[in-house]
Amino acid sequence: MSANVLREFLHRSREWSRARRGLELFETAAADLQELADADTGFFVYRKRAMLNGVTPQRPVVYVPWGAFANDIEELQSLMEEVVSTKLHLMTPLMERWILAEDMPRELQTRWERYGLLEVGIWPLISREKPLGAIVVAKTQAAVDQLTLFTRMALLDACAAQISLALDLILTSRIAEEASQRDLLTGLLNRRGLESRLPDFIEQCRENARFLIFGLIDLDDLKLVNDTKGHPAGDEALREVAEIIQRNVRASDLVARLGGDEFAVVVESDEPDVESVMFRIREAVESDSHGLSASVGGAMWGMDGSSLEACYKIADQRLYECKRLSKSEQQFQ
């Protein structure tokens, strides 16, 4: 019986590596644990790792509680934050084994006595050699066809290993996807990244009852910088402008480098005033950079067009009108 359950569990857990998101992984694993691992209650706790810089947020998040824990996520969340921040040393000696509920630390016993737990097990989740979470499982009823202790521990050992591996695969996939949507020189979004985030941004503007402005920024004299100071100086100028643009829009707004010396912004605005938004960015570039000038053009989403292509076309026309006027002004100075 135990051998058959273990084989079935290992067979199912191979499918976990196909999960595209952590939540999908936890939901699938929870269903298999309930059915095969003699764990009628449990949850997952995990601290997401930032994709690009490797910084791990300190706040652990509880996922997919089931059984006696199912409707108590706020209590679990509060407890896990407390345990991770101040009481992790109490839990570490109890990990990777099933223990009687009465043998848990007194503080946990007091907070969990209303769940009617008989046994509890905690298995750490390791991502890239660092503990970033845990599987917390429990039993509230004695099983009729109880698995051997060895099998129950082996199932959770395998579960923790497979979930840890699947989380690494998900992170690797997300890092690759994120990298494919970033401009390597400036770290801004590229066109693909802009297009992928635009639908959510549009929906956000609708929910906030605000206007969406699409804008283009084109440097007027980057070629001169490249020709007189060299391409490394031109690259530094592009990075400088990228930082200036980001400083002059909201953190939630989208900033992209579309190629060459052309930048794009997608801005949430309280007013339908394209010119004010774009000329403010232009002034920031020209005042904060080292002698660079820029031309700008913008379009109001929904008024000038309802697609990226339509708004780009209008913004591009206005940008070149800005460039033409700027050259005319220089000729008469």
CATH number at residue 311: 3.30.70.270
Q: Which residues sit opposite 42 in a β-bridge?
A: 66, 137
Kindly state whether residues 170 and 201 are assigned to the same domain. Answer: no
Average pLDDT for residues 165-193, to the nearest whole number?
Answer: 90
In the structure, what pLDDT confidence band is assigned to residue 146 with cuts at 50, 70 and 90?
low
Q: Quick one: pLDDT at residue 328?
A: 52
Q: Domain ends where: 114, 149, 180? A: 180
Q: How far apart (Å, rounded) are the C-alpha atoms in residues 137 and 124?
A: 11
pLDDT digits (tens, 9 = 90+) for 130-144: 888 999 999 998 766
pLDDT digits (tens, 9 = 90+) for 38-91: 899 999 999 876 654 444 456 889 999 999 999 899 999 988 888 877 777 777
Q: How far apart (Å, rounded) are the C-alpha atoms in residues 263 and 190?
A: 9
The dihedrals phi and psi of 260, each to the nearest 5 degrees, come to 55, -125
Q: How far apart (Å, rounded) are the C-alpha atoms in residues 222 and 248?
A: 21
- Calculate what percentage of the chain has a pLDDT beyond 90: 55
Kindly state whether residues 46 and 81 are assigned to the same domain. Answer: yes
Q: Quick one: pLDDT at residue 284?
A: 95
Kindly state whether residues 160 and 195 are assigned to the same domain. Answer: no
Q: How far apart (Å, rounded) are the C-alpha atoms in residues 63 and 219?
A: 47
The dihedrals phi and psi of 189, each to the nearest 5 degrees, come to -65, 150
141 assigned to some structural domain: yes
186 assigned to some structural domain: no
Answer yes or no: is pLDDT of 193 > 90: yes
106 assigned to some structural domain: yes
Nearest to 213 by CA among 252, 264, 266: 266
Answer yes or no: is pLDDT of 329 > 80: no
Q: Quick one: pLDDT at residue 299?
A: 96
Kindly state whether residues 91 and 164 are assigned to the same domain. Answer: yes
Residues 139, 116 contacting (CB under 8 angstroms): no
Kindly state whether residues 153 and 201 are assigned to the same domain. Answer: no
Q: Domain ends where: 180, 212, 228? A: 180
Q: Domain ends where: 148, 180, 212? A: 180
Q: Quick one: pLDDT at residue 333?
A: 39
Average pLDDT for residues 201-213, to the nearest whole number?
Answer: 93
Quote the strand ranges of the chain, DSSP E: 41-46, 61-66, 98-100, 119-127, 130-139, 211-219, 254-259, 262-269, 294-300
CATH of residue 157's domain is 3.30.450.40
Kindly state whether residues 197 and 222 are assigned to the same domain. Answer: yes
298 assigned to some structural domain: yes
Average pLDDT for residues 287-306, to the nearest whole number?
Answer: 92
31 assigned to some structural domain: yes
Residue corresponding to tokens 């084109």: 218
Q: Quick one: pLDDT at residue 290?
A: 85
In one-letter notation, the amino acid at residue 149 is: L
Kindly state whether residues 325 and 298 are assigned to the same domain. Answer: yes
Kindly state whether residues 17 and 164 are assigned to the same domain. Answer: yes
pLDDT digits (tens, 9 = 90+) for 78-127: 888 888 777 777 778 888 999 998 888 887 888 888 999 999 999 999 88
Average pLDDT for residues 310-329, to the nearest whole number?
Answer: 87
Kindly state whether residues 210 and 309 are assigned to the same domain. Answer: yes
Q: Quick one: pLDDT at residue 27?
A: 94
Average pLDDT for residues 216-243, to the nearest whole number?
Answer: 89
Residues 197, 253 contacting (CB under 8 angstroms): no
Quote the strand ranges of 199-253, DSSP E: 211-219
Q: Quick one: pLDDT at residue 63?
A: 96
165 assigned to some structural domain: yes
Q: Quick one: pLDDT at residue 145?
A: 62
Q: How far apart (Å, rounded) are the C-alpha atoms in residues 297 and 283?
A: 13
In the structure, what pLDDT confidence band is assigned to residue 296 with cuts at 50, 70 and 90?
very high
For 113, other C-beta atoms within 10 Å of its C-beta total 12
Residue corresponding to tokens 């016993």: 109
Q: Could you list the residue range(s) of the whole structural domain that residue 55 is in?
A: 2-180
Query: What domain count does the chain have?
Result: 2
Kindly state whether residues 23 and 47 are assigned to the same domain. Answer: yes
Average pLDDT for residues 147-156, to the nearest whole number?
Answer: 85
Q: Quick one: pLDDT at residue 331?
A: 42
Kindly state whether residues 172 and 243 are assigned to the same domain. Answer: no
- pTM (predicted TM-score): 0.69
Q: Quick one: pLDDT at residue 53?
A: 47
Kindly state whether residues 80 and 110 are assigned to the same domain. Answer: yes
